[in-house]
Amino acid sequence: MADNHSSKLSQHPEVEAIANRLQAIAAQLAGVKPTLDTAIEDVPAAIGNTLVLLGGMADHMNNEISVLAERLSLIGGTV
């Protein structure tokens, strides 16, 4: 199925570039929560709570960006 998306996107290089960039951003965000989770153990509770909140926000943004990248990939074949 990914090959089908790639062939559709290759017809629209700008859409492909945007989808690829969104996927790269999502991949970068995927590492934020685990990193913050590790740091939580070594900081005071108030800071730890903030790190939990930031980790949750990063995880949510990662999920949203991944969904947008996938939708853009699908739309790319119909532009």
pLDDT at position 6 over 70: no
52 Cβ contact partners less than 8 Å away, ≥ 6 residues apart: 36, 40
pLDDT at 79 over 50: no
Q: What is the pLDDT of residue 77?
A: 59
| Reported pTM | 0.72
| pLDDT tens-digit readout, 7-56 | 554 567 888 889 999 999 999 999 999 999 999 989 999 999 999 999 99
Which whole number is the average pLDDT over 54-74?
Answer: 94
